[in-house]
């Protein structure tokens, strides 16, 4: 069966990796990417596939209902992987409106467009809508707490987390009310190629290359479960192709690491792999800064459900994944260096100053 898959936010980090994964794994599928190309969307991430005619790229916003209706019909979309979202917690604290507009209203608009498209085709049972979300909707864990799972109550702590929680509830409500074949996934922190430079791992790598201080929030003891993005793409593929509509699947890397320990691992790898650094050892660049407001203490995912039901499990340890990530950033300066200019550079300067204040 040939699928016609729409990936929203496909010029972003996770979705961009999913585009590459799907094009390689399912070359006979029709692949369509929709992206608004805001600051975190980089067409260069998928440009080789566009140039090769492996996908159709549509520059547009998920809040544009006429565009969605036309796109779904013209490309005869049967499957949707919805990853378009505002995703940076710091940005949500200073400007929450954009997060509500995209993550809540945009998800609603996309669900409604897909529902109309699905109903016009006599509600085919094999169609799927996968809504990709985050573990941040569950709130924060104490060190002794068990990991999050599919039954964990929601307790979002930031505007970003609240907006994603709202979109999760919308997706489930559309499945329950209208019978729309919706699935939801909640993942832990992703990392790997094409990660936007404002995030912790690429920010650390780039600051080391530039000889700039590495800001670490608080005492660096906040813990995250790190999921290599290629492992996540395999999980999303499994959920979209074999998951049961109406179900939620928690996806985690089973790699809990404190932020400070993660930064130190990156420093060691950069000292080993980067031939010329302005300052060595890189750990000398670490600076502790005022903690983020409402900074969640710990995230961790129990991924046993997806492992037992769909046979997926993470294959990449955090040590392996970080090495691959460092090697990718060192080899792909032409991808990330243009992102450090103009408006983005101005924003990063403001954030950098705020973190060191």
52-73 burial: b if 16+ Cβ within 10 Å, else e: eebbebbebbbbbeebbbebbe
For 203, other C-beta atoms within 10 Å of its C-beta total 21
Mean pLDDT (whole number) for 136-157 = 95
Catalytic-labelled residue, pool 160, 194, 217, 299: 160
H-type helices in the chain, by residue range?
A: 13-25, 47-51, 65-74, 89-94, 97-99, 107-120, 159-178, 200-210, 229-242, 259-273, 304-310, 318-331, 333-336, 342-356
Q: What are phi and psi of 251, to 5 degrees?
A: -120, 115
pLDDT tens per residue across span 202-214: 999 999 999 999 9
CA-to-CA dists, residue 132 to 186, 238, 259, angstroms: 6, 13, 24
Q: How high is the pLDDT of residue 343? A: 47
Place of tokens 């499990």: 313
Q: Is 90 considered catalytic here?
A: no
Question: Is 160 in the active site?
Answer: yes
Q: Which of 35, 86, 136, 296 is catalytic?
A: 136
Q: What is the pLDDT of residues 11-59, one digit of tens each?
A: 999 999 999 999 999 999 999 999 999 888 999 999 999 999 999 999 9
Question: Are 136 and 90 contacting, i.e. CB atoms less than 8 angstroms apart?
Answer: no
Q: Of 35, 135, 168, 256, which is the active-site residue?
A: 135
Delineate the domains of the chain, giving CATH numbers in brackets: 4-195+226-258+298-318 (3.40.50.720)
pLDDT category of residue 355 using cuts at 50, 70 and 90: very low
Distances 12 to 30, 41, 237 between C-alpha atoms, Å: 19, 5, 17
Whether the full predicted model's pTM is greater than 0.75, yes or no, is: yes
pLDDT digits (tens, 9 = 90+) for 259-278: 999 999 999 999 999 989 99
Sequence-separated (6 or more) residues with CB below 8 Å from residue 169: none
Q: Note the pLDDT of residue 342.
A: 53
* Residue 135 designated active-site: yes
Count of CB atoms situated within 10 Å of the CB of 322 = 24
């Amino acid at each position: 069966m040939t699928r016609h898959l729409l990936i929203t936010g496909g010029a972003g980090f996770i979705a961009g990796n999913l585009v590459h994964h799907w094009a390689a794994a399912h070359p006979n599928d029709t692949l369509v990417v929709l992206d608004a190309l805001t600051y975190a969307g980089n067409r260069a991430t998928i440009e080789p596939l566009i140039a090769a005619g492996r996908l159709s790229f549509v520059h547009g916003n998920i809040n544009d209902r006429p565009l969605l209706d036309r796109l779904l019909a013209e490309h005869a979309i049967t499957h949707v992987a919805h990853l378009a979202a505002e995703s940076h917690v710091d940005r949500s604290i200073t400007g929450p409106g954009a997060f509500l507009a995209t993550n809540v209203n945009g998800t609603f608009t996309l669900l409604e467009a897909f529902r109309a498209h699905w109903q016009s085709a006599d509600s085919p049972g094999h169609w799927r809508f996968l809504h990709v979300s985050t573990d941040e909707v569950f709130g924060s864990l104490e060190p002794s707490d068990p990991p999050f799972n599919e039954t964990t109550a929601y307790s979002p702590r930031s505007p970003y987390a609240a907006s994603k929680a709202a979109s999760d509830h919308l997706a489930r409500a559309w499945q329950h009310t209208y019978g729309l074949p919706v699935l939801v996934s909640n993942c832990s922190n992703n990392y790997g190629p094409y990660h936007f430079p404002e995030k912790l791992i690429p920010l650390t790598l780039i600051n080391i290359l530039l000889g700039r201080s590495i800001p670490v929030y608080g005492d660096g003891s906040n813990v995250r479960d790190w999921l290599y993005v290629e492992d996540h793409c395999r999980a999303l593929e499994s959920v979209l192709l074999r998951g049961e509509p109406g179900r939620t699947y928690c996806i985690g890397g089973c790699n809990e690491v404190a932020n400070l320990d993660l930064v130190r691992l990156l420093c060691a790898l950069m000292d080993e792999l980067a031939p010329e650094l302005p300052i060595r050892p890189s750990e000398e660049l670490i600076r502790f800064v005022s903690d983020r407001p409402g900074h969640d203490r710990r995230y961790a995912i129990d991924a046993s459900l997806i492992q037992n039901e769909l046979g997926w499990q993470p294959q990449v340890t955090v040590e392996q994944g970080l090495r691959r990530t460092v090697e990718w950033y060192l080899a792909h300066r032409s991808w990330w260096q243009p992102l450090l200019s103009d408006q983005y550079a101005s924003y990063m300067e403001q954030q950098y100053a705020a973190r060191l204040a």
